[in-house]
Amino acid sequence: MSTVLVVNSGSSSLKYQLVALPSGEAIASGLIERIGEEVGNARHTDADGTRETETTIPDHDTAMRLVLAVLPPSPPDAIGHRVVHGGDRFSEPTLITDEVCAVVQELSTLAPLHNPANLAGIQASRAAFGDVPQVAVFDTAFHTTIPEHAWRYAVPPEWVTDYGVRRYGFHGTSHRYVGGATARLLGRDPSDCDIIVLHLGNGASVSAIHGGVCVETSMGMTPLEGLVMGTRSGDIDPAVIAHLARHGMSIGDIDDALNTRSGLLGLCGENDMRRVHELAESGDAAARTALDVYCHRIRKYVGAYLAVLGGADAIVFTAGVGENNPDIRARGLSGLERLGIRLDPARNAFNEAIISDDDSPVTVCVVPTDEEHAIAEQTWELVEGLAR
Ligand code: ADP
């Protein structure tokens, strides 16, 4: 058995999971929150249960030392870090070196909220774990196969060359993992499948996978484009930004509002889908509209991606909303019977793995995502390969 520590470091939080391979079992996991605030919080779960402590956690180095203190004494065989933006520089899991850290830092211009936070986790982990090999697994990597006609925006060429303005796509680890798991569920070779993956969590994105390779995805240069999300708008007319700026709003405020005060939150005051449903059921008109907008956007993308692929073998739902919410799945795919999509209401209601009826030309599935397991596997594959 090998063990891989998976680290997902945010600006004020650090999530970790110690994964045993090949089983994928989580030996321990935890979340450190409110790094840099007066009182931080550390929660750790292992075979002995869950322990929670409140203490001051000034920085990521301190957070990582807390992790080190609660893990089993023998170090992990490798450490895998989730890194949000790999730009067009990284298309594969990459062994972390000083040079790789420098490029992740450079790419911060494309992901100012994410890459510096990921890097803080990497540096703290390198300090705490010394010689253990560490690997960066990029959210963008699975999407580097998207053809130019899909990744290019129709903008002046120097925007691409000078500023990196193009579609990159995110949630790639999840799309790759769920796409592969769906092919296995169908008993098909991934190279012989066309699959649409709907990752519906707080963030949400769709991808079109042809023969195991991503050919289109809904998130763009940043994770703001595409579907309606918890707090992000998804697609809007880009002219809205200039319009608001002419009304005196600063670019920072507009950016902040589109990322943190839009989406479901902007539409009805709640970003958690469970709360949105409760409100809608109690008759709240804004919550009902929010669900309508959310589901309409899903349907629009499914139609578009069916066209991109020329038809699909499977449509698969994953992440918090996708795995648990029959209503969103049914409404997101309603009216698509003529396109070969027919749900079985009873299977859908019970979140079964296959929720379409037996005669549906397109199989509709629910496949849980497991990004930690996927990062652990990719990390170990690279490290084991290097040792050979
Ligand atoms: P993240 O993007 O933060 O990883 P998740 O994949 O955990 O997000 O998804 C969070 C979303 O999933 C929230 O909107 C939450 O309401 C929704 N969700 C989680 N569990 C359920 C459930 N049992 N029923 C309906 N919605 C759920």
The best mutation among 321, 325, 350 to test binding of ligand 1, ranked by most ligand atoms within 8 Å of the C-beta, falls on 321
151 close to 167: Cβ distance less than 8 angstroms = yes
Orientation of helix 98-106 relative to helix 115-129, angle to 10°: 160
Q: How far is CA 129 from the centre of its chain?
A: 26
Residue 170: Cβ-neighbour burial (10 angstroms; 0-12, 13-18, 19+) = buried
Those residues with Cβ within 8 angstroms of residue 214's Cβ, 6 or more apart along the chain or in another chain: 142, 143, 145, 146, 169, 172, 175, 176, 179, 207, 208
Determine if ligand 1 sits within 6 Å of the CB of residue 324. yes
**Structure tokens that stand for 110 in this block:** 């494309």
351 lines ligand 1 (CB under 6 A): no
272 Cβ inside 6 Å of ligand 1: yes
Number of helical H runs and strand E runs in the chain: 15, 13
Q: How many CB atoms lie under 10 A from the CB of residue 91?
A: 15
278 lines ligand 1 (CB under 6 A): no
Give the per-residue pLDDT at 387.
Answer: 81
List, in sequence order, every residue forming a beta bridge with 52; answer none if it has no partner.
43
In 3-state terms, what secondary structure has residue 18? strand
Amino acid at 307: A
Residue 202 Cα, ligand 1 centroid: separation in angstroms?
6
Q: How far is the CA of 205 from the centre of ligand 1 (A)?
A: 14
Atom of ligand 1 nearest to the CA of 203: 2
Residues 6+ apart with CB under 8 A from 70: 28, 30, 44, 46, 51
What's the number of CA atoms in the CB half-sphere (13 Å) around residue 110?
28
Residues tagged active-site: 139
**Residue to mutate (ligand 1; options 84, 202, 271, 295; most atoms within 8 A of CB):** 202
Predicted confidence at residue 112, as pLDDT, reads 84
Give the nearest ligand 1 atom to 276 CA: 16
Ligand 1 centroid to 318 CA: how many Å? Answer: 10
**Which residue in 278, 171, 148, 155 sits closest to 219, CA to CA?**
171
With H, G, I as helix, E, B as strand and everything else as coil, classify residue 37.
coil
Q: Is the CB of 230 under 6 A from ligand 1?
A: yes
pLDDT of residue 66: 93
Mutate to test the pocket of ligand 1, among 270, 324, 375 (most ligand atoms within 8 A of CB): 324
pLDDT for the residue numbered 35 = 92
| Widest CA span in the chain | 62
Ranges of residues in the chain whose predicted pLDDT is under 50: none
C-alpha 27 to ligand 1 mean position (Å): 23
Q: How far is the CA of 230 from the centre of ligand 1 (A)?
A: 9
Burial class (CB in 10 A: 0-12, 13-18, 19+), 67: buried
Long-range contacts of 299-305 (CB under 8 A, 24+ apart): 299/332, 299/333, 299/334, 299/335, 299/336, 301/198, 301/206, 301/218, 301/226, 301/227, 302/196, 302/198, 302/206, 302/332, 302/333, 302/336, 302/341, 303/336, 303/339, 305/196, 305/206, 305/207, 305/208, 305/216
